[in-house]
Amino acid sequence: MISLEKEIYLLGIEASGLTSAVCLSREDQLLGMVSLNIRNIHSRKLAAITQELLDHTGLKFTDLSGIILSAGPGSFTGLRIGYSLAKGLAHPLNLPLIEVPTLDIWAHQNGRTDLPVLSVIDAHREEIFCAKYSWQENDLKRINDYQLIPIASLTKYIAEKTVIVGGDLLKLKAEIGELLGERAVFPYPLEQDPDCHSLCYLGYKKFVNQETVSANDCEPMYMRAFKGVM
Amino acid sequence: MFLLEKIVHSPQQSEKIARQLAEKLSPGDVVALHGELGTGKTFLVKAICRFFKMSQEATSPSFTIINEYFNQRGLYIYHFDFYRLENEAELQNLGLDEFFYADYICMIEWPDKIQNFLPESRWEVYLNFIDDEPQAREIRIEKKGD
């Protein structure tokens, strides 16, 4: 049973893409973050910046109430490193893990809009991971399942003017813009890394709703079925 | 797109061919290296790494599966060897798409073992022995896809 009586500190880990980031929140308020946008650095720096962040904030691992993970879909290697760190910390400390789908983070961080929101992440091979959302008052609601679709099928998938957000838009914007024409509305400037504020906010909401998993039970959202031939 | 087909008679000539290929490579390219044991696949990778002045000498990744090399200009080369792969199910722990569809150069030995994972756009390099001339090799290089 999660106790809400003591002060709640949550560690957030973002390693689902290029960004290596860790953040600490007191409830849903961000206390601090360390973020690096340098490729191939997760395995070398993620644990180190976690310790650094705790040192800066004066907190100890034993002060934590849970660990929030950006759960993917995204980089296979990055997700595995992020999950390894989280499981390694959670297991001995008996901490719950809170998994926040990375598509939710992208949709949330771009803020409220009256238009529907499509969150996308590049899946390579001319495919994208995506999900649709709408803002209802100050709540972000996902309105369909997380999907892996050919990017060309967006023309059928998006019927009305929609805000397109996501992690790989620098690469995908031109193609999506061409496919959807005026139906595609892109934020300006395009954000290039998932936001720790949104990770903490969405993670804390799940934490208080007791939507947590144990270190033994958590698994990244890879979403792509294995294509090999046995 | 056909690039070249040539018979070389010495490692120096092989190195020259490797440099010709390297000049055409750019980040994002995948090179599939076909050839029996001892035909010089790793030699070709070593020569290409020398061309790009990678910080590390290329070595055979037969046991590590993947080797990573990088240079001062931020170029990464990933060198794969799938000789020991018994079935493609073993690949689910590697996340190959991240290598093949990123701005790295990927060089793959024994690519036939991962046919279903290879990107359509790639360089194909075929290395063959020449009868009665142990130092000689037939080298064929072509570009598949766009």
Taking contacts as CB-CB distances below 8 angstroms, the residues of chain B near A124 are 97-98, 100-101
In angstroms, the CA A34 to CA A20 distance is: 8
Would you say residue B1 has pLDDT above 90?
no
Q: Is A125 on the interface with B (CB under 8 A)?
A: yes
| A115 and A60 in a common domain | no
Q: Average model confidence (pLDDT) for chain B?
A: 93
Would you say residue B35 has pLDDT above 90?
yes
Q: What is the structure's pLDDT at A2?
A: 53
For tokens 């722990």, the residue is B93
The structure's pTM equals 0.85
Instruction: Work out the minimum CA distance from B119 to partner chain A, whole angstroms.
Output: 8
Q: Mean pLDDT over residues B16-22, rounded?
A: 96
Compute the C-alpha angle A188/A189/A195, nearest 5°.
110
| A155 and A49 in a common domain | no
pLDDT digit of tens for each residue in chain A (230 aa)?
A: 455 567 999 999 999 998 999 999 999 999 999 999 988 889 999 999 999 999 999 999 999 999 999 999 999 999 999 999 999 999 999 999 999 999 999 999 999 999 999 999 999 889 999 999 999 988 999 999 999 999 999 999 999 999 999 988 989 999 999 999 999 999 988 888 899 999 999 999 999 999 999 999 999 998 876 554 43
In angstroms, the CA A90 to CA A92 distance is: 6
Residue A213 belongs to a domain: no
In one-letter notation, the amino acid at residue B36 is E
Would you say residue B12 has pLDDT above 50?
yes
Which CATH number belongs to the domain containing residue A171 in this structure?
Answer: 3.30.420.40
- Give CA B68 to chain center in angstroms: 13
**Domain range for A181:** 103-185
| A108 and A46 in a common domain | no
Q: What is the structure's pLDDT at B108?
A: 98
Q: What is the structure's pLDDT at A103?
A: 97
Q: Mean pLDDT over residues B65-78, rounded?
A: 94
| A174 and A128 in a common domain | yes
Residue A226 belongs to a domain: no
Q: What is the structure's pLDDT at B3?
A: 78
Q: 3-state DSSP call for residue A120?
A: strand
| A82 and A30 in a common domain | yes
- Range list of β-strands (E), chain A: 9-14, 20-26, 29-36, 66-70, 97-100, 117-124, 127-136, 139-142, 147-150, 162-166, 184-185
Q: Is A124 on the interface with B (CB under 8 A)?
A: yes
Q: Mean pLDDT over residues B47-57, rounded?
A: 96
Q: How many domains does chain A have?
A: 2
Proportion of chain B above pLDDT 90, given as a percent: 77
User: Per the omega criterion (within 30 degrees of 0), is the bond before A189 cis?
Assistant: yes
pLDDT in tens, B88-138: 878 877 888 889 988 999 999 999 999 988 999 999 999 999 998 998 999
In one-letter notation, the amino acid at residue A67 is I
| A62 and A91 in a common domain | yes
Instruction: Work out the minimum CA distance from B138 to partner chain A, whole angstroms.
Output: 31
Q: In B, what residues contact A, Cβ < 8 A?
A: 68, 76, 87-89, 91-92, 95, 97-98, 100-101, 116-117, 119
Residue A221 belongs to a domain: no
Q: Mean pLDDT over residues B54-71, rounded?
A: 93
| A152 and A42 in a common domain | no
Residue A216 belongs to a domain: no
